[in-house]
């Protein structure tokens, strides 16, 4: 059995473009331990007790800043912005102005571009053992987006083994915003096999179908009689291999589910029988992207194991993909004088 521990903080002391990086550690009285770094305002580790009382690190990631800098997968645990997910052809219009963004994912803009929020060193303020705030000012025109945006991401570890992430943002010009967290989870422990054996439950009656470039057609579609029906708990493996056009378009699950009751009910739940660890996600956001790590390959993680395809899954709570170009999707425009606020909470339980 793997014994998990937090990474060595000295491996997170680095200077990136003139700014120092750090490892920040939060602990709660229940014994849960969380590590974060200001490089990407990122979740590095979450040590959660399993059904035998052993601490299991359920978040994929690396033991040093260099690990993050050299990884194939750039988004491990990171705060994603200014716009999470895809914007078709890297283009959108707002108030009659056309904007062109980098095309860093085929023809699309993905996760704010190569220089998105995941790649920035944020300022930090640690409040006691259970809370850290990260701050970043994104300049007007960064990665092609209009307006100077001030962002605050606060991580709090509660006494109930819950990581609450609160996002806030303001702008000085009209812009679009879609913030999320890109943690990959494996509830049997990072590096411990794939997540095909995890049991998921998602109460959504509808999901957002995508085309071959992973861009929505602009509609919500019923999950009924499709591999996307997780209303009753089901293993990831059950339908992921189905001969289904949407599964093919995502190379597995890589789709947004419509959140039926933001914050009042878990938008998604995952459970691993071996560890007995359950993860519930509560969010204010209208959608939750289930991504089953279809493109993971080749990176070696914290405890020396390779992160292979489907070695982790993400529950990315956010607005729908390509919203700036989809008039029927919930609003993503942020204007001067308004404050954007959203919340994601990852709650860990033991279910025997
Ligand atoms: C996207 C995937 C993408 C991945 C990159 C996810 O949020 O939905 O399509 O490959 O991020 O890490």
Strand pairing class (109-110; 23-27): unpaired
Question: Taking Cα atoms as reference points, which of 36, 38, 345 lies closest to residue 47?
Answer: 36
Q: What is the pLDDT of residues 178-233, one digit of tens each?
A: 999 999 999 999 999 999 999 999 999 999 999 999 999 999 999 999 999 999 99
For 247, other C-beta atoms within 10 Å of its C-beta total 20
Q: Are 185 and 293 in contact (CB under 8 A)?
A: no
Q: Is 133 in the pocket of ligand 1 (CB under 6 A)?
A: no
d(C-alpha 207, C-alpha 186), whole Å: 23
Strand pairing class (340-350; 162-171): antiparallel
Write down the mean pLDDT value for the chain: 97
Q: Is 316 in the pocket of ligand 1 (CB under 6 A)?
A: yes
Q: Are 317 and 180 in contact (CB under 8 A)?
A: yes
d(C-alpha 78, C-alpha 163), whole Å: 14
Domain 9-350 has CATH 2.70.98.10: yes
d(C-alpha 348, C-alpha 5), whole Å: 18
Annotated binding site for beta-D-galactose: 85-86, 182-184, 254
Q: Are 196 and 311 in contact (CB under 8 A)?
A: no
Report the separation in Å between the CA atom of 75 and the middle of ligand 1, taken as the mean of its atom positions.
Answer: 8
- Which of 71, 291, 292 for mutating ligand 1's site (highest number of atoms within 8 Å of CB)? 291
- The angle subtended at Cα 187 by Cα 349 and Cα 258, nearest 5°, is 80
pLDDT score of 255: 98
Q: What's the average model confidence in pLDDT over 286-294?
A: 98
Helix (H) or strand (E) holding 237: helix 237-240
Q: What's the average model confidence in pLDDT over 86-102?
A: 97
Report the separation in Å between the CA atom of 304 and the middle of ligand 1, taken as the mean of its atom positions.
Answer: 23
d(C-alpha 208, C-alpha 141), whole Å: 30
- Confidence band of 352 (pLDDT split at 50, 70, 90): confident
Give the residue numbers marked as catalytic: 182, 316
Provide the b/e sequence for 268-299 (b: ≥16 CB within 10 Å): bbbbbeebbbbbbbbbbbbbbbbbbbbebeeb
Delimit the domains of the chain by residue range. 9-350
pLDDT score of 309: 97
Helix (H) or strand (E) holding 245: helix 245-250
Beta bridge partners of 152: 135, 168
Report the separation in Å between the CA atom of 35 and the middle of ligand 1, taken as the mean of its atom positions.
Answer: 23
- Confidence band of 303 (pLDDT split at 50, 70, 90): very high
Instruction: Name the closest-CA residue to atom 10, ligand 1.
Output: 295
Instruction: Name the closest-CA residue to atom 8, ligand 1.
Output: 254
d(C-alpha 181, C-alpha 118), whole Å: 9
pLDDT above 80 for 1:
no
Is the full-model pTM beyond 0.85? yes
Report the separation in Å between the CA atom of 291 and the middle of ligand 1, taken as the mean of its atom positions.
Answer: 7
pLDDT above 80 for 333:
yes
CA distances in angstroms from 110 to 84, 121, 207, listed in the order given: 7, 19, 20
Q: Is 291 in the pocket of ligand 1 (CB under 6 A)?
A: yes
């Amino acid at each position: 059995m793997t014994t998990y521990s937090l990474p060595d903080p000295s491996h997170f002391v680095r200077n990136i473009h003139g700014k120092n990086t750090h490892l920040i550690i939060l602990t709660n009285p229940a014994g849960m331990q969380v590590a974060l770094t200001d490089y990407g305002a990122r979740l590095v580790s979450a040590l959660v007790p399993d059904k035998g009382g052993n601490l299991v690190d359920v978040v994929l990631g690396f033991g040093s800043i260099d690990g993050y800098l050299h990884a194939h997968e750039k988004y491990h645990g990171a705060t994603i912005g200014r716009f999470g997910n895809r914007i078709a052809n890297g283009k959108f219009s707002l108030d009659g102005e056309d904007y062109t963004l980098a095309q860093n994912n085929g023809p699309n803009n993905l996760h704010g571009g190569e220089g998105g929020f995941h790649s920035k060193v944020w300022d930090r303020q640690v409040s006691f053992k259970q809370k850290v705030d990260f701050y970043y000012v994104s300049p007007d025109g960064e990665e092609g987006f209009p307006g100077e945006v001030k962002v605050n991401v606060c991580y709090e570890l509660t006494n109930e083994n819950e990581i609450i992430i609160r996002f806030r943002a303001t702008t000085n010009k009209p812009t679009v915003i879609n913030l999320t967290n890109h943690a990959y989870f494996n509830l049997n422990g990072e590096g411990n096999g794939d997540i095909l054996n995890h049991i998921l439950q998602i109460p959504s009656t509808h999901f957002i179908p995508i085309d071959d470039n992973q861009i929505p057609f602009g509609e919500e579609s019923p999950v009924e009689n499709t591999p996307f029906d997780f209303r009753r708990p089901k293993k990831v493996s059950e339908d992921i291999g189905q001969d289904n056009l949407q599964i093919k378009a995502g190379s597995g699950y890589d789709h947004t589910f419509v959140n039926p009751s933001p914050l009042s009910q878990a938008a998604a739940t995952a459970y691993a029988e071996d560890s007995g660890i359950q993860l519930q996600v509560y969010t204010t956001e209208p959608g939750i992207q289930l991504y089953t790590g279809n493109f993971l390959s080749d990176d070696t993680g914290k405890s020396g194991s390779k992160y292979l395809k489907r070695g982790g899954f993400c529950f990315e709570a956010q607005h729908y993909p390509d919203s700036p170009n989809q008039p029927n999707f919930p609003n993503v425009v942020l204007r001067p004088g308004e404050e954007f606020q959203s919340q994601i909470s990852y709650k860990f339980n033991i279910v025997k």
